[in-house]
């Protein structure tokens, strides 16, 4: 075991603080990664604050990890020392069930091992990327294409795949009319990816405050959802609405914006239920759907797609000492558009 510096939440209500965590010795298929950057996902905040249920503390979050390979186990073939790599929301799965065999490890029937806060194979609780090093089994380590810098690539490991996967699943492409609700970490990736896929993209944000950014990121239109007129103007305007909001939204109002046969796909994951009237579905053969990150193969496909299309996250790099302040800004929707922790500052 090796001790490394990390930032962890000591309890549900307390701010994150500097601590040390243990990393296991390398098994034959393990990769040791020197973490360079770790993005701050809203899920980190939901999790450490207990929004999704009780956790074991201390808990170091972080599932948008990039860095370089520092060492490999004796049987590792996919990665070599010095490679630029990434780790997302999962660090293992059974590899044998129907879902793992079709490359949808996030739906592993035996439960994928999430990057932090999950019970690992050895019974320990996984600890995430707000740390100097991480040990991950080789098949869950992604290649970062040369065209992507490690800092702007980090958020792709969650925000990128969580928006890419449903846009592909719902066959967004040339001619699709897509709305992205919420221009935060996920939303700003969703806009760029939907645009690169050829869709006509509309941002639905609470206000027009980030309109210039939205249009620069590739949106064709931008509307404020606090303006009730928006819901009249845009009636039946979209084939797919990607909802990235971290709080409950009025699903019935948004379903009015979905055209016949369209769908609203929820990736935002507030703990509260969303109210739905069946009439707003059957009145337009509409669907309400959800999506959960994406499999490892698709995550690599997304990284390659982003490199090819010159897409990456827009980030604010922060020292580890600013994590708690960054959390408050994320909660206040004051993020443009992802905070990324510079791991070299963890020990400062
Ligand atoms: P984020 O950066 O905080 O972005 C969320 C955006 O939602 C905000 O920027 C804001 O956009 C909008 N918003 C926030 N509160 C709102 C409210 N009360 N009413 C209306 N709009 C509001 O968060 P994120 O990291 O993108 O994550 C978003 C959600 O996705 C979180 O719930 C997270 O846990 C979840 N998530 C799910 C998956 C998955 O696999 N399904 C993966 C990652 C994250 P505007 O300022 O533009 O309105
Ligand atoms: Zn995330």
Tens-place pLDDT, residues 174-218:
999 999 999 999 999 999 999 999 999 999 999 999 999 999 999
Q: Is the CB of 41 under 6 A from ligand 1?
A: yes
The protein residue whose alpha carbon is closest to atom 27 in ligand 1 is: 42
User: In whole angstroms, how far apart are CA 106 and each of 29, 88, 159?
Assistant: 20, 11, 15
Q: What six digits make up the tokens of 148?
A: 């992507």
Average pLDDT over residues 209-237: 98
**CA atoms of 306 and 328, how far apart (whole Å):** 29
Neighbouring C-beta atoms of residue 117, cutoff 10 Å:
22
Q: Is the pLDDT assigned to residue 230 strictly greater than 90? A: yes
Nearest CA to ligand 1 atom 32: 246
For 270-298, write each residue's pLDDT tens digit.
999 999 999 999 999 999 999 999 999 99
**Confidence at residue 307, expressed as pLDDT on a 0 to 100 scale:** 98
**CB-based burial, 162-191: b 16+ in 10 Å, e otherwise:** bbbbbbbebebeeebbbbbbbbbbbbbbbb
| Nearest one of 54, 42, 39 to 329, comparing CA atoms | 42
Is residue 205 lining ligand 1, measured as CB closer than 6 Å? yes
Verify whether ligand 1 is closer than 6 Å to residue 245 (CB atom).
Answer: yes
pTM: 0.98
Looking only at the bridges linking them, the beta strands covering 338-342 and 315-318 are: parallel
Residues 6+ apart with CB under 8 A from 101: none
H or E element that contains 243: strand 238-243
Query: How confident is the prediction for the chain on average, in pLDDT?
Result: 97
Ligand 1 near 62 CB (within 6 A)? no
If one residue of 244, 295, 313 were mutated to test the ligand 1 pocket, choosing by the most ligand atoms within 8 A of its CB, it would be 244
Task: Compute the average pLDDT of residues 214-236.
Answer: 98
For residues 112 and 96, the answer to whether their CB atoms sit within 8 Å is: no
In order of 77, 194, 243, the CA distances from 29 in angstroms are: 8, 36, 37
What residue's CA is closest to ligand 1, atom 34?
Answer: 43
Tell me how far the alpha carbon of residue 335 is from its chain's centroid.
15
Does the bond joining 128 to the residue before it have cis omega, within 30 degrees of 0? no
* H or E element in which residue 113 lies: strand 113-114
Distance 75 CA to ligand 2 centre (A): 30
Q: Which of 214, 246, 330 to mutate to test the pocket of ligand 1 (most atoms within 8 A of CB)?
A: 246
**Residue 122, pLDDT score:** 87
Q: pLDDT digits over 110-168, tens only?
A: 999 999 999 998 899 999 999 999 999 999 999 999 999 999 999 999 999 999 999 99
Alpha helices in the chain (DSSP H): 42-48, 98-101, 150-153, 159-169, 185-196, 211-216, 229-233, 251-255, 279-282, 296-309, 323-331
What pLDDT is attached to residue 97? 98
Fold of 2-158+294-306+313-345: Quinone Oxidoreductase; Chain A, domain 1 (3.90.180)
Looking only at the bridges linking them, the beta strands covering 113-114 and 238-243 are unpaired
Q: Are 33 and 85 in contact (CB under 8 A)?
A: yes
Nearest ligand 1 atom to alpha carbon 331:
3
For 123: left if phi > 0, alpha if psi spans -120 to 50, otherwise beta; the answer is: left
Q: What are phi and psi of 323, to 5 degrees?
A: -60, -45
Rounded to 5°, the CA angle 275-279-280 comes to: 65
Give residue 348's pLDDT: 86
Strand partners, 178: 201, 240
Ligand 1 touching residue 19 (CB < 6 A): no
Q: Is the CB of 268 under 6 A from ligand 1?
A: yes
**Does residue 141 contact residue 78 with C-beta atoms inside 8 Å?**
yes
Distance 64 CA to ligand 2 centre (A): 7
The residue ranges of every structural domain in the chain are: 2-158+294-306+313-345, 160-290
- Per-residue pLDDT at 177: 99
What kind and span of H or E run contains 169?
Answer: helix 159-169
Distance from the alpha carbon of residue 279 to the mean position of ligand 2, in angstroms: 33
78: Cβ contacts below 8 Å, ≥ 6 apart: 138, 139, 141
Q: What percent of the chain has pLDDT over 70?
A: 100
Determine the CATH number of domain 160-290: 3.40.50.720
């Amino acid at each position: 075991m090796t001790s490394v510096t990390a930032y962890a939440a000591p309890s549900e209500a307390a701010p994150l603080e500097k601590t040390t965590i243990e990393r296991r010795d390398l098994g034959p298929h393990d990769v040791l990664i020197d973490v360079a950057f770790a993005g701050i996902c809203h899920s980190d905040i939901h999790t450490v604050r207990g929004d999704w249920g009780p956790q074991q503390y201390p808990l170091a979050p972080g599932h948008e990890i990039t860095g370089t390979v520092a060492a490999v186990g004796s049987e590792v073939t996919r990665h070599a020392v010095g490679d630029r790599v990434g780790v997302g929301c999962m660090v293992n799965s059974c590899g044998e069930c129907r879902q793992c065999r079709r490359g949808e490890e996030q739906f592993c029937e035996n439960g994928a091992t999430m990057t932090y806060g999950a019970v690992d194979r050895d019974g320990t609780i996984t600890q995430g990327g707000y740390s100097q090093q991480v040990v991950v089994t080789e098949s869950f380590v992604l290649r970062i294409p040369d065209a992507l810098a490690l800092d702007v690539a980090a958020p792709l490991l969650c925000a990128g795949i969580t928006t890419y996967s449903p846009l592909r699943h719902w066959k967004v492409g040339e001619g699709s009319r897509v709305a992205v609700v919420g221009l935060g970490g996920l939303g700003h990736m969703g806009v760029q990816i939907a645009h690169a896929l050829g869709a006509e993209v509309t941002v639905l944000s609470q206000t027009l405050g980030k309109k210039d950014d939205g249009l620069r990121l590739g949106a064709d239109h931008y509307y404020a959802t606090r303006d009730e007129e928006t819901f009249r103007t845009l009636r039946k305007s979209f084939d797919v609405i990607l909802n990235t909001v971290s709080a409950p939204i009025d699903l019935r109002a948004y379903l009015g914006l979905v055209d016949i046969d369209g769908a609203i796909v929820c990736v935002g994951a507030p703990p509260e239920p969303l109210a739905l009237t069946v009439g707003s579905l059957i009145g337009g053969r509409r669907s309400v759907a959800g999506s959960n990150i994406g499999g490892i193969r698709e995550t690599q496909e997304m990284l390659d797609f982003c490199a090819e299309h010159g897409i990456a996250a827009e980030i604010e790099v922060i020292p580890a000492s600013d994590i708690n302040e960054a959390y408050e800004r994320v909660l206040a929707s004051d993020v443009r558009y992802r905070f990324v922790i510079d791991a070299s500052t963890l020990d400062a």
